[in-house]
Structure 1
Amino acid sequence: MVGGERNGLVDALRGWSLFGILIANLLIFQYGIFGKDEISFFQLSSLDYGGYVAIKMLIENSFMPIFTFLFGYSLILMSNRLKEKNRRVKWHLFRRFLVLIAFGVLHATFLWEGDILLLYGAMGMLLLFFTNRKRKTILVWCVVLFSIITLISFIGGEEEALISEDNIDVYLKDTMTIYGSGSYEMIKNHRNDVDPMEMSGGEAFIVVLFMPILILPMMLLGMYGAHVGWLQVSRQKLFQYIASSCVPIGLFLKASFYLSKEIIWLPDMSLIGGSVLSIGYIGLFSYLYSNSRHGQVFYGFESLGKLSLTNYILQTVVCTSVFYGYGFGLFGRMGVLLSILFGVGLFTLQVVGSVFFLKRFRQGPLEKVMRTVVYLENPFQSRKKRQLKDEMKVS
């Protein structure tokens, strides 16, 4: 990126990743955070089950890592911009992550259990230790953490059920009733106060401790990628190589979840497969973008990516209104295939809406709040005055 010019590919990738995140999240919106992995409870038709497997194979855990990669990539781009303006990098980033945590707490408490903002804000605090590190150091940490995930996949063996069958059946029956026809307050209380896992303090601590190992590698890879300038439209050969190698390898590794049940000696490598497939998707999308970036579709992805925070929360508002009892009450009733079509329709409306919105405004409402807190700006000050103020600081 040159000066203050935005990287259109980064914005477009962020917008595209929100499509996959929406399709994957529709399993949670319709079946709940625990129900999506206990899908037999809902007795899907063969067609819906096929759609469910397709989401698990092609989308779930393979689009969120794209967003995670871009989180790290954008952190370096933002750091560079702050350095150019002689601003304190870590303090600005700290405030940014603090706002993400605040949004995440509000989102998870009052709207939906599938929030990622709180986790990303917390992970961002850890990334502050890497902002001034050499790119070689970042790469070493990235490789070490990916190696740990791969090792866990190899030696993991049979997973113990975190929830007993009796507990999960009772919980899912209650969830179907409350989410499908309950009031907002009933759903909020069920989401925040009922825990079918009944974990002890020690078990919860281990889960929290394990989270950075799963999330940080792709963030660090994004930081390293920004240092070496991976996401530049001129790198078509790199994109082509990444796509042609990582997409098939990632699909095979994700398929190992199902194949390992038939082939005894084959380990379940789906954990690392999601990240490999996401890297392949980044290469594939970047290659297509570099060949036709001026097309209307990619322009729409860019527009949506610039408003990613607002669009992410908007997806929650719309989907909870459709599936929860205080809205249309379609929880567990729409089916997987129809939910995919619904997701495509909602995403298309968001793309069109983002394009029209940015013709009138520079930022989305939540992006405006973020910028106001991060840069300690007057939200009513004109852009020209802010630029003049920045120039005076630099001089």
Structure 2
Amino acid sequence: MEQTRPAATTAAPDRERAGPGRLADVDALRGFALFGILTVNITYLASAFHGTGVDEPGFGSPLDTGVRAVVALLFEAKFFLLFSFLFGYSFTLQLDSAERRGARFTPRFLRRLAGLFVLGGLHAVLLFPGDILTTYAVLGLILLALHRIRPRTAVRTAVVLFTVTCAAYLLLALALRGADGGDPAVAAADAQRATEALRGGFGSVVGAHLDQLPSVVFLLVFFQAPAALAAFLLGLAAGRHRALSDLARHDRTLRRLQAVGFPLGLLGAGVYTWSALGHPGPSVQVFALGVDVVTAPLLAAAYAATVLRLARGRHGRRLVAVLAPPGRMTLTNYLTQSLVCVLVFTGVGAGLVGRVAPAGVAAIGVALFAAQAVCCRWWLARHPYGPVEWLLRALTTLSWPRWRGAAEAGTVEAGTVAGGAVRAGAAEAGRATAPGPRGPLS
């Protein structure tokens, strides 16, 4: 395989560090992705019927169907790709930081991945079976092994991953033609049992999560993991070229991503949405997943291009002020979202699972993200890291990071949902760190 050493320190990394506004734009993109992930995850946390192929009883009005359609069309299977891309991008910043200092990068990164895996395992069992942190931890090992890959080879490998995964689903769809999709009554009964378990106490909720894990792991391995790895590689390639350090220079590329990504991405999302809401046979459902594998990245890219262009526009400062703070504390926010939803929807708290209409669920998600945006702004004015980011950083560096005090002026977080702790200002010149959605389809 064609390989090269990590790029040495050049003017490009200096531009990356010198432009806090530019990286703040990227933080805003990460915050936007965090909102999209919450919008998808909360639908699974609020209903055990979601994703089962049967309609939830009591919520079949046109408004309910419309809200489900919007979430499936615009959100599902799109936003974890943005975080995966940013994970790969920030990985290159970490490598460059370690090379500048002559430090050993691999031990630190392995400790970070171990921390992510433990956090993800606890998250999946206690809060949300659709955890992606464990997937990121495993795929991070592959990214580490491929860290010398050339950008062009990384892009080609990503394209191959998307294409092969799509082809596998299409072949499986052909093999399933005429297959029985199962008894809807059995699926509904299983979902109802899961609902009652989630309305129980802590032990009952954990038991329900454990029952869901096998099917979730299947989707993670065969749907989300290949796409996430491909996005890692695309992010790595973009990071080698410091593509996000000077967005004005790439405005034409961003426009092209919008022009291509929106029509093709929405077309594929339409097929996926029809499959998700129409409950056709298994062959059609698998076919729709295959289509989504190759079109969701296009829509995700169009979203990213739109947010980055808006962040540089007339009202960009306001947009960044709202989205960047939660984007700098993605790991803390990701876990907090699941915790709040457990308290709202399961028997550990209010026990509202299966009792809130889709529009109400969406409203709760918006309110939760708005509260997080306010809290993150307050927290970062007093602390350099989010609380979980601080803990993961301590494990990574085997030291106690600074706890009090706002982040240094001119520095911006450049991490991911998997930890978000790569600092791109002068303060990070002497440190290398690195730091994730339900769903399999978030």
TM-score interval, smaller chain: 0.7 to 0.9
Q: Cα distance, 1:163 vs. partner?
A: 6.7
Q: Deviations over 1:96-139 (max 9, x none)?
A: 11111011011112222121111111111111111122212212
Which residue of 36, 45, 50 maps to 1:20?
A: 36
- Does structure 1 conserve the Cα–Cα contact (< 8 Å) formed by 2:24 and 2:320? no
Residue in 2 aligned with 1:178? 197
Which residue of 140, 148, 152 maps to 1:136?
A: 152
Rounded to whole Å, the distance in 2 between the matches of 1:155 and 1:19 is 34
- Does structure 1 conserve the Cα–Cα contact (< 8 Å) formed by 2:197 and 2:204? yes
Aligned AA for 1:360? R
Q: Cα distance, 1:91 vs. partner?
A: 2.0
Q: Cα distance, 1:85 vs. partner?
A: 2.1
Check if 1:279 corresponds to 2:301.
Answer: yes
- Does structure 1 conserve the Cα–Cα contact (< 8 Å) formed by 2:155 and 2:237? yes
Residue in 1 aligned with 2:381? 359
| Structure richer in helix, relative to its length | 1
Q: Cα distance, 1:153 vs. partner?
A: 4.8
Rounded to whole Å, the distance in 2 between the matches of 1:196 and 1:376 is 34
Check if 1:107 corresponds to 2:129.
Answer: no
Q: How many residues get paired?
A: 382
Q: Could you say what the CA RMSD is over the residues aligned between the two structures, in angstroms?
A: 3.2
Check if 1:40 corresponds to 2:55.
Answer: yes
Residue in 2 aligned with 1:308? 330
- Does structure 2 conserve the Cα–Cα contact (< 8 Å) formed by 1:293 and 1:299? no
Rounded to whole Å, the distance in 2 between the matches of 1:81 and 1:391 is 7
Which residue of 35, 56, 60 maps to 2:72?
A: 56
Aligned AA for 1:253? G
Structure 1's 144 and 194: CA in aligned 2 closer, same or farther, altered over 3 A? closer
Which stretch has the larger CA shift, 370-379 or 60-69? 370-379
Residue in 1 aligned with 2:209? 191
Rounded to whole Å, the distance in 1 between the matches of 2:299 and 2:219 is 27
Look up the SS of the partner of 2:381 in the other structure.
helix
Look up the SS of the partner of 1:288 in the other structure.
helix
Rounded to whole Å, the distance in 2 between the matches of 1:205 and 1:55 is 22
Rounded to whole Å, the distance in 1 between the matches of 2:381 and 2:26 is 20
Percent identity of equivalent pairs? 26
Q: Deviations over 1:214-238 (max 9, x none)?
A: 3211111111111122223222222
Which stretch has the larger CA shift, 305-314 or 79-88? 79-88
Rounded to whole Å, the distance in 1 between the matches of 2:361 and 2:135 is 26
Structure 1's 51 and 371: CA in aligned 2 closer, same or farther, altered over 3 A? same
Rounded to whole Å, the distance in 2 between the matches of 1:362 and 1:4 is 17
Structure 1's 355 and 373: CA in aligned 2 closer, same or farther, altered over 3 A? same
Which residue of 253, 257, 260 maps to 2:272?
A: 257
Which stretch has the larger CA shift, 306-315 or 237-246? 237-246
Which residue of 228, 234, 237 maps to 2:252?
A: 237
Look up the SS of the partner of 2:356 in the other structure.
coil
Rounded to whole Å, the distance in 2 between the matches of 1:79 and 1:333 is 48
Rounded to whole Å, the distance in 1 between the matches of 2:303 and 2:219 is 31
Q: Cα distance, 1:20 vs. partner?
A: 0.4
Look up the SS of the partner of 1:326 in the other structure.
coil
Structure 1's 167 and 62: CA in aligned 2 closer, same or farther, altered over 3 A? same
Q: Cα distance, 1:157 vs. partner?
A: 2.3
Structure 1's 167 and 122: CA in aligned 2 closer, same or farther, altered over 3 A? farther
Rounded to whole Å, the distance in 2 between the matches of 1:122 and 1:108 is 15
Q: Cα distance, 1:361 vs. partner?
A: 0.7
Rounded to whole Å, the distance in 2 between the matches of 1:388 and 1:289 is 25
Aligned AA for 2:29? L
Residue in 2 aligned with 1:341? 363
Rounded to whole Å, the distance in 1 between the matches of 2:351 and 2:338 is 15
- Does structure 2 conserve the Cα–Cα contact (< 8 Å) formed by 1:236 and 1:290? no
- Does structure 2 conserve the Cα–Cα contact (< 8 Å) formed by 1:250 and 1:273? yes
Aligned AA for 2:401? P
Rounded to whole Å, the distance in 1 between the matches of 2:364 and 2:101 is 44
Rounded to whole Å, the distance in 1 between the matches of 2:110 and 2:89 is 16
Residue in 1 aligned with 2:372? 350
Look up the SS of the partner of 1:378 in the other structure.
coil
- Does structure 2 conserve the Cα–Cα contact (< 8 Å) formed by 1:236 and 1:287? yes
- Does structure 1 conserve the Cα–Cα contact (< 8 Å) formed by 2:150 and 2:237? no
- Does structure 2 conserve the Cα–Cα contact (< 8 Å) formed by 1:251 and 1:277? yes
Rounded to whole Å, the distance in 2 between the matches of 1:163 and 1:373 is 47
Structure 1's 37 and 30: CA in aligned 2 closer, same or farther, altered over 3 A? same
Look up the SS of the partner of 2:144 in the other structure.
helix
- Structure 1: runs of 5 or more not aligned: none
- Does structure 2 conserve the Cα–Cα contact (< 8 Å) formed by 1:69 and 1:222? yes
Residue in 1 aligned with 2:168? 152
Structure 1's 223 and 194: CA in aligned 2 closer, same or farther, altered over 3 A? closer
- Does structure 2 conserve the Cα–Cα contact (< 8 Å) formed by 1:13 and 1:302? yes
- Does structure 2 conserve the Cα–Cα contact (< 8 Å) formed by 1:372 and 1:378? yes
Q: Deviations over 1:120-168 (max 9, x none)?
A: 1111111111112221221221121122133235434265678764552
Structure 1's 75 and 42: CA in aligned 2 closer, same or farther, altered over 3 A? farther
Aligned AA for 2:247? V
Q: Which has the higher contact order (CA 8 A, sep 6+)?
A: 2
- Structure 2: runs of 5 or more not aligned: 1-12, 408-425, 432-442
Look up the SS of the partner of 2:173 in the other structure.
coil
Which residue of 227, 238, 241 maps to 1:228?
A: 241
Rounded to whole Å, the distance in 1 between the matches of 2:26 and 2:111 is 22
TM-score scaled by length of structure 2: 0.78
Check if 1:96 corresponds to 2:112.
Answer: yes
TM-score scaled by length of structure 1: 0.87
Structure 1's 243 and 380: CA in aligned 2 closer, same or farther, altered over 3 A? closer
Aligned AA for 2:152? K
Rounded to whole Å, the distance in 2 between the matches of 1:350 and 1:313 is 12
